[in-house]
Amino acid sequence: MGKSSSPGGKGMFRTTRWSLILNSVDVQAPKSRAALSELCQLYWYPLYAFARRIGHDALDAEDLTQSFFLHLLEQEAFSRVGPEKGKFRSFLLASFKNHMSVSWRRGHAAKRGGGCQVVSLDAEDAENRYRLEPVDDLTPEKVFDARWATALLSRVTGRLRAEYVRQGKGRTFERLKVFLVAADHENMSSYRQIADELGLTVGGVKTLVFRLRKDFTATLREEVAQTLFDPADVDSELRALCDALLASGAESSSEEPPPEDSWSI
């Protein structure tokens, strides 16, 4: 995919979106604000699902999520954040819990976010997605982690698709992406069928699948690193998110997780 460094190589991920935010003297500076806005846009649904899971109705969950991001985009929200809060995921959930507690004490759902749409939150889509959540004994925190992982996988898949399309290989990606999903597709008949469709040999398809998985792993690690203060924590974060997905059940999400070896180092 034209990467200059190998996954996890020296010099990779030195500056992440999260470290950029924490290290910025002025969180309102264009670069740090843009980094925060992007992270918020990517990961708003896990917060919405958390709010719904603890008992808020759809309208209040939407309002709380929007008003929280309005608060988060203010510099004061980071005044007590230190390197020990090294995961954007952990910081976001802890801050959201505090925000909900304050809003509850005030007796309202944060005044409908003050009428300000901080992130593009499709309320109808959010509620449709929430209806697909499994009815089980998962804690709100586990639901949050699982949906965070789902959003991450969707982001990675989207990036890979865009890159393959840019290279004129969009059809190849669409045919091969199945090998990122489930091991039961790892059989000769699948390889032969795709080989016939793409005009390749079975060996050629296997080579492309290997490269796709390698690209997926590199992109996944990069995206995870962007949410960490210390990129050295990538491996442990990957394990935690994989565990969250497995606990929630792959069938509960719109994007199935890839096999565990795709998450490996």
Alpha-carbon distance 40 to 205, whole Å? 37
> CB–CB of 85/91 below 8 Å?
yes
Looking at residue 85, what is its pLDDT?
Answer: 60
Where among 99, 131, 163 does a domain terminate? 131
Instruction: Mark which of 81, 103, 131 sits at the end of a domain.
Output: 131
Q: Give the residue from 131, 160, 193 where a domain finishes.
A: 131
C-beta contacts of 2-11 below 8 A and 24+ residues apart: 3/218, 6/218, 7/214, 7/217, 7/218, 7/221, 7/265, 8/221, 8/234, 8/265
Residue 47 CA to residue 167 CA, distance in Å, equals 35
Identity of residue 160 = L
What is the structure's pLDDT at 254?
A: 41
Please check whether residues 260 and 145 belong to one and the same domain: yes
Whether 6 is in a domain gets the answer no
pTM for this prediction: 0.78
Phi, psi of 228, rounded to the nearest 5 degrees: -120, 145
State the DSSP string of 194-211: HHHHHT--HHHHHHHHHH
Does residue 201 fall inside a structural domain? yes
Q: What range does the domain containing 65 cover?
A: 15-131
Whether residue 161 is found in the same domain as residue 213: yes
Q: Based on the structure, what is the number of domains in the chain?
A: 2
222, 233 Cβ separation under 8 angstroms: no
Do 170 and 125 reside in the same domain of the chain?
no
Is there a contact between 253 and 45 (Cβ–Cβ < 8 Å)?
no
Query: Going residue by residue through the chain (265 aa), what tens digit of pLDDT does each one get?
Result: 544 333 444 344 457 888 878 777 666 778 887 888 888 888 889 999 999 999 999 888 988 988 888 887 765 666 566 555 678 899 889 889 988 888 766 665 545 444 455 555 666 677 777 776 766 678 899 999 999 999 999 999 999 999 999 999 999 999 999 888 655 556 778 899 999 999 999 999 999 999 999 999 999 999 999 999 888 899 999 999 999 888 877 544 444 444 444 444 3
In a domain, 7, yes or no: no
Do 23 and 106 fall within a single domain? yes
Question: Are residue 198 and residue 255 in the same domain, yes or no?
Answer: yes
Closest to 69 in 3D by CA, of 124, 21, 116, 131: 116
